[in-house]
Amino acid sequence: MSKKRVAVLISGRGSNLQALLDADQSAYEVVLVVSNVPGAAGLERARAAGVEALELDHKPYGKNREAFERDLDALLVQRNIQLVALAGFMRVLTSFFVRAWTGRLVNIHPSLLPKFPGTKTHERALEAGETEHGATVHLVVDEVDAGEIIGQASMPILPGDTPTALAERLLAVEHKLYPRCLAALASRLN
């Protein structure tokens, strides 16, 4: 079975990207990283790993999200990308892009979905008095954080935990979960 050609979309530090680069890449191969934020730290991680890293700034597109996504889609198609992994990509994608990549577009979300879709997941888990927290890798569909769950990993919430402490501890969990799930998805795709 051939490795799936993966593009990772980022906006920031790219620690999940790093985990995907460092993991066993026998089922997938990260061949492209695109950031919508110029100068994002994750771009350097990609270059250090010898992976093509591009900036596609969304700002010049103004409110025209679809025009941005058409250019993004064209970049991915040009490079024969088979699977797109969102890793801290801070743009909501429209149905144009989501439909173009249905079943091949995956995200990592810092909560145990269906609990806490959206933002501020660590704060909300604490406020809700949860005893465990976690992360979910899921397919992206039109509805936010609602696609098929590929995998989840959980960890206990400890007395005295703060949103920052939870976020930091969860990141280590995410770094193990995402490569495993991406490999599983890559293996089941044509």
Instruction: Give min distance, CB of 138 to ligand GRF, in A.
Output: 11
Q: 65: annotated binding-site residue? A: yes
Instruction: Give min distance, CB of 136 to ligand GRF, in A.
Output: 9
The span from the CA of 113 to the CA of 105, in Å, is 17
Options 109, 133, 138, 175, the catalytic residue: 109
Q: Under the rule (CB under 6 A), what is the footprint of ligand GRF?
A: 12-16, 87-88, 108-110, 135, 174
Q: Which residue is nearest to ligand GRF (CB)?
A: 88
CB count within 10 Å of CB 126 equals 16
CB count within 10 Å of CB 73 equals 17
Cβ closest to ligand GRF, residue 44 vs residue 74: 44
Instruction: Give min distance, CB of 159 to ligand GRF, in A.
Output: 23
Cβ closest to ligand GRF, residue 19 vs residue 76: 19
Does the annotation mark 109 as catalytic?
A: yes
Q: 15: annotated binding-site residue? A: yes
The span from the CA of 39 to the CA of 54, in Å, is 10
Q: 129: annotated binding-site residue? A: no
Within 13 Å, how many C-alpha atoms sit on residue 126's CB side? 13
The residue type at 17 = L
CB count within 10 Å of CB 34 equals 25
Question: Which segments of the chain are extended strands (E)?
Answer: 4-10, 28-35, 52-55, 83-86, 105-109, 132-139, 149-156
Q: Bridge partners of 121? A: none
Q: Do 83 and 106 meet the contact criterion of CB atoms below 8 Å apart? A: yes
Cβ closest to ligand GRF, residue 42 vs residue 101: 42
Q: 11: annotated binding-site residue? A: no
Instruction: Give min distance, CB of 88 to ligand GRF, in A.
Output: 3
Cβ closest to ligand GRF, residue 14 vs residue 147: 14
The residues that are catalytic are 109
**Binding site members for (6R)-10-formyltetrahydrofolate:** 65, 107
**Binding site members:** 14-16, 65, 107
